[in-house]
Amino acid sequence: MIQSIRSRLGLKLLISYLAVIFLVVVILVSATQISLPGAFDRHLGGMALKGQFGQPGMMMGPAGRAQGMMADLYRGFRDSFNEALALSVLAASIAAVGVSLFFSRRIVAPLQAMTRASQRIAEGHYDERVHAPGNDELSQLAAHFNQMTERLAQTETMRRQLIGDVSHELRTPLTVIKGMMEGLIDGVLPGAPETYEQIAKEADRLGRLVDDLQELSRVEAGAFQLRLQPVLLQNVIKSLEKRLSAQFAAKNIAFVSSIPADLPAIYADEDRLMQVLMNLLGNAMQYTPAGGRVEVTAWLHARQVAICVADTGVGIAPEHLPHIFTRFYRADPSRSRQSGGGSGIGLTVARHLVEAQGGQIEAASDGPGRGSRFTVYLPAASAL
């Protein structure tokens, strides 16, 4: 019995309300019984003494008769008072029990709904929502519960999409490798170096994809450490230039940078900033034909440092621009593949890294064939 009361909030609330009602009734009855004789004496006794009670002649008799009458009067008064008190206590208690039932139901009903909803969610029904009107703590709890369910539903959709995307991405190189191996076994394809090279290229692509996926899952889960400190962009660009100049030269693409000497330091993680810029420069190199130009500029923009990587390459059509930070999205998958590039993960990773450092990244292009501009905004160390 006690166990069942303990495990039911509605019952506990009701019992606590009943306890309050009981206490109020006990205090009310005791207080009236204690104060009643005194009050009677003060009000009715005083009236009698002043001769205001009943027939004036009645009070003129012997003192004993008058006292007897007063005692009778008091008993009569007390009985009628107690009767009225019992009736009002009964009426008030019934009303209080009704109100207590109503309020305990109102408190318990949304909690029960949330319990049912959480059980359904645990079974995978992410469309479950709870309804708790008003603006009190319970409605806020219900609103947060619904928000949490919404996030769970989104995560679940993303998980399904990710599995679908990953299987699709893995299937393509695997199909090529399998087809070529079968061709070799059947003797349809010559065992020439080019055939093996092609197989090795697809295997490389698979390896890169797995690395990218690993990095993506790490940044999406936020499983990386940031060492935020003032970083001088000039030094970062110099070191990137050193690493990439040979590749730019080999592709006959001009690489220029113009960073103002008085640009404030950036408050960022140097390695992660390097990784983001490396990705943007790698893309610029990949999507810019020979004879083109890639330029890095920077300026102070409302307490942030803006870093822009602009190229004169193939550009991005307006319909693709809003999606290019979405994982696995490629504006032109065939071009991406031919150029040995990517899985459409690089910009997603870059966006996560920039946002984790308190910044934003955006892309712009005047359209196909008219180049692209990627701008990263990060907090200026001086603004902190």
- Whole-number minimum distance, CB 263 to ligand ADP, in Å? 23
Pick from 372, 376, 377, 380 the residue near ligand ADP by CB under 6 A: 372
Regarding 284 and contact with ligand ADP (CB under 6 A), the answer is yes
Number of residues that bind ligand ADP (CB under 6 A): 22
Closest residue to ligand ADP: CB criterion:
342
- Minimum distance from residue 251 beta carbon to ligand ADP (Å): 13
Contact call for residue 343 and ligand ADP (CB under 6 A) = yes
Q: Per CB under 6 A, does 324 bind ligand ADP?
A: yes
Task: Give the residue with the Cβ less far from ligand ADP, 342 or 359.
Answer: 342
Residues of span 346-365 touching ligand ADP by CB under 6 A: 346-348
Task: Answer yes or no whether residue 375 interacts with ligand ADP by CB under 6 A.
Answer: no
Nearer to ligand ADP, 357 or 372 (CB): 372
288-317 residues in contact with ligand ADP (CB under 6 A) are: 311, 313-314, 316
Q: How far is the CB of 317 from ligand ADP (least distance, A)?
A: 9
Shortest reach from residue 345's CB to ligand ADP, in Å? 6
Over the chain, what HEC string results?
CHHHHHCCHHHHHHHHHHHHHHHHHHHHHHHHHHHHHHHHHHHHHHHHHCCCCCCHHHHHCCHHHHHHHHHHHHHHHHHHHHHHHHHHHHHHHHHHHHHHHHHHHHHHHHHHHHHHHHHHHHCCCCCCCCCCCCCCHHHHHHHHHHHHHHHHHHHHHHHHHHHHHHHHHHHHHHHHHHHHHHHHHHCCCCCCHHHHHHHHHHHHHHHHHHHHHHHHHHHHCCCCCCCCEEECHHHHHHHHHHHHHHHHHHCCCEEEEECCCCCCCEEECHHHHHHHHHHHHHHHHHCCCCCCEEEEEEEEECCEEEEEEEECCCCCCCCCHHHCCCCCCCCCHHHHHHCCCCCCCHHHHHHHHHHHCCCEEEEEECCCCCCEEEEEEEEEHHHC
- The minimum distance between CB 283 and ligand ADP, in angstroms, equals 3
Could you tell me the smallest distance in angstroms from the CB atom of residue 344 to ligand ADP? 4
244 binds ligand ADP (CB under 6 A): no
Q: State the nearest-atom distance from the C-beta of 341 to ligand ADP, in Å.
A: 5
Chain positions contacting ligand ADP, by CB under 6 A: 283-284, 287, 311, 313-314, 316, 324, 329-332, 336, 341-348, 372
